[in-house]
Amino acid sequence: MTRVLTINPGSSSLKAALRTPTVSLTAEIDRLGTSEARCTVTDTGMPPVQEPFSGGAADAVAHVAALLACRDIRPQAVAHRVVHGGSLFERSVVITDAVRESLTALVAWAPLHMPGDLASIDAARACWPDAAHIACFDTAFHHALPDDARRLPLPAFADQLGLRRYGFHGLSVRSIVDTVPDLGDAVVAHLGSGCSVTAVHNGQPVHTSMSLTPASGVLSGTRSGDLDPEIPLILLDQPGATTASVRTLLSHHSGLAGIAHGLHDVRDLLAAREHDPAADLALRVFTRDVAMAIAAAATTLPRWDMLVFTGGIGEHAPTVCHEISARLTSLRLPRTLVVPADEAAVMDRETRVLLRAHLDVQHSSPQ
């Protein structure tokens, strides 16, 4: 019985699940890095237990290690969600020192995520040095995008530098493809701390809203999404501005937070909208932006059979999903589903495939 631990760090959370491959233990840390962070632990057959948590991604991994250690559990493999694989990594890979070093070069292409991804990888490799560690990339699913979806409207030299559409939330979309057998031609809206919209035809991506980095596409909790390209340049011209300060502004203080004076969790915005005009405006801008992205994605499909909402907002904020759908009523709105994303299941499966391949190579090698 091979125990695989999946570690899924997000921009504001970290989720861990132990699988055999059925789930036996989960730990989810929500609102990571804030004073409101909580860790919810669920053992099979037991009610969830919640406790306060403080610290970052590496601390979260250490906390998961402690939870396993007190149960005398050591995983044989650890699967890591890694947001960006760039042009180097088109599929899941075993993390070697060389792979770990290559991932460092991608930090600039996902500065909100990759530092936490790498910190959690380093912490996990230290906690479980004898386990196989596997990188599962959010960009891998989108390597199947057609060339007219991948290419950005830039000169050839920029394309040769790797500046193209990579797309994100690929593990989430892959899980929807795997769990909805009659998906057909669908638009999948992954709405969480980060948001993206993907069109899927015959189980393959044909369009996705995020581009080179997870800061692109529709607005998110703290990210601006797509902007007029002159706006960052104007911001850079402001007194005292630097590339780092503008990147921080666009990644940490924009999106819903920028409109609602710092509020960016949709639960808080929904609770505040009746008495806070800024919260109401943020939600209206958000639903408008997402609806437009869904409509645009639908134009890339031969037909539109299904709209799927997933992610933290998609799964748990029906009011927001209803408001998005209401904006689409002038179109032929297809069957609409809310499907929980199970990125950990995809990571677990890909890890087991890699482990089996590794064993097959060992068995076929001459003694």
User: What is the set of active-site residues?
Assistant: 138
In contact, 232 and 256? CB cutoff 8 Å: no
DSSP helix, strand, coil percent of the chain (3-state; round to 5): 40, 20, 40
Q: Contact 215/251 with Cβ under 8 angstroms?
A: yes
DSSP 93-133: EE--HHHHHHHHTTGGGSTTTHHHHHHHHHHHHHH-TTSEE
CA distance 20 to 28: 18
Neighbour count for residue 69 (Cβ, 10 Å): 11
Backbone phi and psi for residue 22, each to the nearest 5 degrees, phi listed first = -70, 150
Strand order in the sheet with 306-310: 204-208, 195-201, 186-191, 306-310, 335-338
Half-sphere exposure of 334 (CA within 13 A, CB side): 19
* Among 264, 309, 305, CA closest to 286: 264
Question: Is 326 exposed, middle or buried, given 0-12, 13-18 or 19+ CB atoms closer than 10 A?
Answer: exposed
Take residue 343 and report the two structure tokens written for it: 């990125």
